[in-house]
Amino acid sequence: MNRPKVFLTRKWPTSIETKLISLFDVTLNEQDIPLSADEFRSALQNYDAVCPSVCDAFPADVLNVPDKRCKILGNFGVGFNHIDIDAAQQQGLVVTNTPGVLTQSTADIAMTLLLMSARRGAEGDRLVRSGQWSGWCPTQMMSSDVTGASLGLIGFGRIAQAMARKAHHGFGMNIYYFKPSAADQAVIEELNATRCERVEDLLPICDFVSLHCPGGESTHHLINETRLKMMKSTAHLINTARGDVIDSQALIKALKDHWITGAGLDVYEGEPKIHPEFLQLDNVTLLPHLGSATIVTRTAMGEKVLNNLIAFFNGQPLLDRVV
């Protein structure tokens, strides 16, 4: 019996690629370069399973390609707003993702960005590397306190709660959150967390605001010029969620005109392209989408996709089915 043909759009951890090759007829992206829409269309026509990353766009005009052979998109990532889910469903495509295994690593990066923005870490690193540092002085690079400050979380799922635990138990931060419905009472009590009924209620009272909401139409530019102006002038904005949750142009204006003090970003609108004005600003920390980038986490994500493919081709229930 012929083995199912599987296509990986990017390079994966070697241990997972080896396991996939032992079970399926696998084509790898050996050069690990981003592929074009036409290459995605061709993959859908020639493989039983296509495994995209969160930066691979699969809109309707790609998914609706004729003579499609593909039956499942095994997404390497928890987010799936890069896939037109309605079109996939209409086309009879199964879509899976990788939830639950990247919680702590992404929360760690959110805390890293918070600390770097608060204490001007990236700016200090650049100062030393440039050879411009002349030595310690009492007023050099004054920054923001983290311990005892207030942290507002927009979205309060697994990653947000993990960040809240690190912030509250590690730094004594006061936790506020926005979520359409109240969180579990045990979580609220553990973190002494206060729910804000609207984003507008949270923004003016928090020293740090961290975004943990899904991408998509309902959250597109959730943080815009109007809401940025509601934040404290001393506040910092952190984003490890999705790039399009923030209006980039509005954030650039906020940072230039000091509506807020700083920002830390791990995701961007239209990434890997980054608005060039961000690169000119000292008060923004920029990371290259490192949220889940640990060996353990990326391997666990690959295992999730692998197990979803095994279950699908064996006719078994899928634990991580999106549609």
Looking at the annotation, which residues are catalytic? 242, 271, 289
Supply the angle between the helices 103-118 and 158-171 in degrees, to the nearest 10: 50
**Can you tell me the distance from the alpha carbon of 246 to that of 215, in angstroms, rounded to the nearest whole number?**
10
Prior bond of 272 cis (ω within 30°): yes
Amino acid at 117: S
- Angle CA 75–21–306, to nearest 5: 35
Residue 261 CB neighbour total at 10 angstroms: 21
CB burial of residue 229 (10 Å; 0-12, 13-18, 19+):
middle
**Can you tell me the distance from the alpha carbon of 83 to that of 49, in angstroms, rounded to the nearest whole number?**
15
Continuous H helices in the chain? 14-23, 37-46, 60-63, 85-90, 103-118, 121-129, 158-171, 185-191, 199-202, 225-228, 248-256, 295-313
